[in-house]
Structure 1
Amino acid sequence: MRRKTVGNKVVSVLLAGALAASLAACGGNTANTGADAGNNAADAGTKEDTKSAETETAADTEESSDAAVADSGYEAKDLGGRTIKIGLWWDEYWDSNYQSLDDIEAAGGSWTNEETMQMKLDAVRAVEEKWNCKIEWVNLGWDGIIDSINTSVTAGTPDCDIYLTDLQFGISPVANGYVQKISDYAPADSDILTDGTVFTKQNLLGNDDYLFHESTTIPSGAMYMTYNAAMIDSLGLEAPESLAEKGEWTWDKFAEYAKACTQDTDGDGNMDVYGYGSAWTLTVQGFCASNNATIADSSTEGLSDPKTVEAFNFIDQLYNVDKSARPYQDDWNNDLLAFSSGKVAFAFAQPWILIQEIDNHDFDMRICPAPVGPSGDGSMTPAMITNNYMIPVGVEDATSVYCVFEEMMNWYHDDISYRDDPEWFESGFVDEDQVTLANKLGALANNDLWNSIDSEGAVSKVFYGDVVNGDSTVSQAIESNKQILQDEIDTLKIQ
């Protein structure tokens, strides 16, 4: 039986210092670079100089660990010293291999908050003692974790009890029956089946019974329209946020702004600053969401949906008719980071990008709601980037595995103020009003998965065929590729 508890918050010394680093998920889909950066920032960053800070005494640490054991939520089962392995593609430094912060530092690990790192170690100690088990984070590397899933999991003998997956390689094992259902192993009163303080289920094309991720109140994986405030001010244009509040920030108004911002600043006869420019995946995600369009969030492809067609037609207008979008460079970083070098006025970007680039420009970079399309209503923003856990078929006693994992991951004992430290996220925005807007827009994220499942490139063929190569119209490109996407969705049918 799980007992819901709220741990007592001890006096803490918050270690200041903004973390400006991105987590690069190396692999086939560059669009997911930086995935879950906010969730992992506390453990991925550089340790501040904390030697002069007051730390807990040995007695305090022992008392904290004892309290953790007492507060744990499930009736324990003796696991006989079993090691529960969690596979991922980076190093984590809080498991049975590390007894102290000194151990972590000696191994090359770091932290941004000494108190919370100690709390995590205490949670591991509590789980070890209560369940008679060990915990091990296993860094398999990007290619290695994919290989482990494709070989050991499909053979029914998983290398790890739990895997953290990017959706690029997390959906296929679900669709092919290699992942256990959450409802089969999670206790009825578990966090994931009740209030979701620790874990949130991931919806996959209408089914949410297989993958799950850490819950958070901070939308670190959101995507925003961002703009060069100095450029807008210099042109005497009203701030987009103000227009949005009045219901006047529409595609038509955006098209006017994009034209006004497209300029030949050095007088050589060539445009060198454009109204809009971004990586192509962000462009598609952003404008589709602004028109309430999704391409793959159910069992039926949405590429041919009239709302999606409208979005691609508007993208075509910006690039090929108005010519107010920066010509596509087909160079990921060149397109993605054009906003920070002042080459474009508007772009779509995620928090990690804003934070990474904060020292690479000398103007205020602000966010605003995306302009609303003719079929949109402002209620939808692009999908969140999340990594998700799964327990494969072949893992014995998945119920105990889940319970141990939940208790360990609830190292903050339901006091989410420890977990959701907003400092990293907020550092990407210029003032409190912008932070408020970022949280508001982040809460509107949709569940469109096309960028994770479209391995055949149906969506990119539409974008390249029309926008880049100009060898087909939007309608022709969509008609030629919609069945390709539908076939991919069909192969991922989840029971």
Structure 2
Amino acid sequence: MPSSVHSLYYNNNTNTEKKQQKNEIKCNFTILSGCYICYNQIKERQKSLKGANSYRKEMIAMKNKKLLSAALALTCVLTAGACGGGNGSSARPASENTAADTTAPVETTPPATLKEEDKAAIEEIETDFEELENKTVRLLANFDLNPAAGKPKSVALEMFETKCGGHIEPILCSWDDRYDKLSTMVLGDDSPDMFSAEDLDIFPGKVIEGKFQAMDDYVDFDSELWAPMKHVNDMFSIKGRHYIGATSTDAGVVVIYNKKTIEENGLPDPAQLLEEGNWTWDTFYDMIAKFYSRPDEKFGIDGWEFENAFAVTSGVPYVDFKDGKLVSNLENPSIVGVQEFMLKLKRNDYPVPKSEYGWSVHPENIANGKTLFFPQGSYVLFEPENKAVFGDPEDVMFVPMPKCPSADAYYLPSVIKGFSIPMGAKNPKGTAAYLNCVMTCRDNEKVKEIEQNQVFEDYGWTQEMYDMLLKTRELTEAHPVFEYFKAVNDDVYDCVLNPSKETYNAGIPWSETVEEIKYELQTLLDTANEKLDSLTN
């Protein structure tokens, strides 16, 4: 077995020796794709790492180019985080995983159009929208709201075009370049009108930097139309001013599994456990413990997205935003509890040991019965060829992350579908009009019917999967939890991200990590809070 952080920590050293050893390790290790890679082994592992990055690049590119159209076509119910979301799956897909260029390629196949009867049904929906004077809304993003080749059109986009006379003009750039591009455009008095908020990295950091303006002059967040999302949008407000127009929420990460594997190992179906109110950390752990077999190379969990997604099931983020202030929760009992649970998983060898598999993940092991659970964004299931990696279509299923036994509700790693208005935007009214169309479609029964048909016809989903998606969204929207450390600045992000994963990846007790980072984090948050206090926009 190759040397790894995991193996180095199973020894009988004293606490002092462990801390010394830990500091030495930190000097000789770098973080790459969420894994610990020893510098003197990098050259030997380049081939394996290339494979790992290729997988992550494929997932990111698929999410940003292919599956965005799927999520947009299902505006009311499918908020799959298809534009680089968060964190849940990861709020920084390109910088954390790979510097992939996600600029959309030239497509020659025309997009699918809505059926004539569906267009007629949309036309019949009563609205009080007025035709826009400025009909062009410029969107800066690494995706296009207009449907991709062969993909169905969003119902909300159809309404925006027919009832408001609007048109979305994409300004495409790579994920990594979007903020540099935005700064250039703002300074050049050429600001775009709309910017995706789905990565959850705008608020509050980019607001502090002056890149975005409050939306309240254009969007009536207190109106009946926006009432279903008021509790969410209020989480992204400062002094009563809102900086994100979130139209829906979804779980950023779900737990994908193969029903055949579950049955063959005599395990309870997680979907059934959820229905019974018994899909918890305890049942999650018990299933893994029964399934695990080191001699047979059978492990409980694979994937890159587990640690941060699981942490927020406690109901408490590492960094929260309360009463206009950023707050550290590193020593909160709920955070301590979730870290102790992840340490228990690690010490029992239940996660797939990536160091033994070329620092790559293997979703195909879900299909062949070697891995039990694969936490990942539900976007991965929107393309039949990608869903097939996990097994036969009738066997692939998912559930939300398990519930913390001591929590009063399901708290899930939350992402949003929504947009913000950049500073200096020339057509903020156009952005507001589009968002109002999305909200109008959101809970309309006829729209839901149209979108449900699209799920079955275009993406090959089963009724069971569709029902689970609705259930997951319902649970998320009832008690959304957003992780703010990814959205303050790079220093806060770096201070928390990798240390928060050390328990699960390296077996390092959380108490040691907290002592190392808590003062630095508090200083960084104090500085950010001072800037929030002085914000006047």
Q: Give yes or no for contact 2:212–2:420 (8 Å, CA) kept in 1.
A: yes
1:432 maps to which of 463, 466, 470? 463
2:290 maps to which of 237, 248, 260? 260
2:299 maps to which of 261, 274, 277? 274
Whichever structure has more helix as a proportion of its residues is: 2
**Number of aligned residues:** 422
Is 1:87 the counterpart of 2:127? The answer is no
Distance 1:250 1:123 in 2: 42
Distance 1:413 1:373 in 2: 30
Q: Give yes or no for contact 2:196–2:420 (8 Å, CA) kept in 1.
A: yes
C-alpha distance 331-205 of structure 1, shift in aligned 2 (>3 A): farther
Q: Which has the larger radius of gyration?
A: 1
Q: Give yes or no for contact 1:179–1:210 (8 Å, CA) kept in 2.
A: no
The alpha-carbon deviation at position 71 of structure 1 amounts to: 6.9
Report the RMSD for the aligned CA atoms in angstroms: 4.7
Distance 2:150 2:221 in 1: 27
Whichever structure has more strand as a proportion of its residues is: 2
Q: Which amino acid aligns with 2:487?
A: I
Identity of aligned residues (%): 17
Is 1:138 the counterpart of 2:171? The answer is yes
1:476 aligns with 512
2:412 aligns with 381
The alpha-carbon deviation at position 242 of structure 1 amounts to: 3.9
1:315 aligns with 342
C-alpha distance 173-156 of structure 1, shift in aligned 2 (>3 A): farther
1:285 aligns with 309
Q: Give yes or no for contact 1:258–1:274 (8 Å, CA) kept in 2.
A: yes
2:19 aligns with none
C-alpha distance 338-168 of structure 1, shift in aligned 2 (>3 A): farther
**Where in structure 2 are the equivalents of 1:56-455 lying within 5 Å?**
73=128, 84-93=137-146, 110-113=149-152, 120=157, 123-124=160-161, 127-128=164-165, 136-153=169-186, 155=187, 157-167=189-199, 169-171=201-203, 172-186=205-219, 190=220, 193-196=223-226, 202-204=233-235, 207=238, 209-213=241-245, 215-216=247-248, 222-246=252-276, 248-264=278-294, 270-279=295-304, 281-286=305-310, 288-298=311-321, 299-320=326-347, 322-329=348-355, 334=361, 339-340=366-367, 342-356=369-383, 357-362=386-391, 364-368=395-399, 370-384=401-415, 386-395=416-425, 398=428, 400-406=429-435, 415=444, 417-418=446-447, 421-423=451-453, 431-445=462-476, 446-450=480-484, 452-453=486-487, 455=490
Show structure 2 runs of 5+ residues with no match. 1-72, 85-92
Q: Give yes or no for contact 1:339–1:345 (8 Å, CA) kept in 2.
A: yes
The alpha-carbon deviation at position 421 of structure 1 amounts to: 0.8
Q: Which amino acid aligns with 1:323?
A: D
DSSP-derived class of the 1:151 partner:
helix
Distance 2:425 2:462 in 1: 48
Q: Give yes or no for contact 1:84–1:134 (8 Å, CA) kept in 2.
A: yes
Q: Which amino acid aligns with 1:382?
A: P
Q: Which amino acid aligns with 2:407?
A: G
TM-score (norm 2): 0.63
Q: Which amino acid aligns with 1:381?
A: L
Show structure 1 runs of 5+ residues with no match. 1-13, 36-43, 95-108, 265-269
DSSP-derived class of the 2:318 partner:
coil
Q: Which amino acid aligns with 2:482?
A: D
Q: Give yes or no for contact 2:137–2:167 (8 Å, CA) kept in 1.
A: yes
Distance 2:426 2:303 in 1: 46
1:466 maps to which of 500, 503, 511? 503
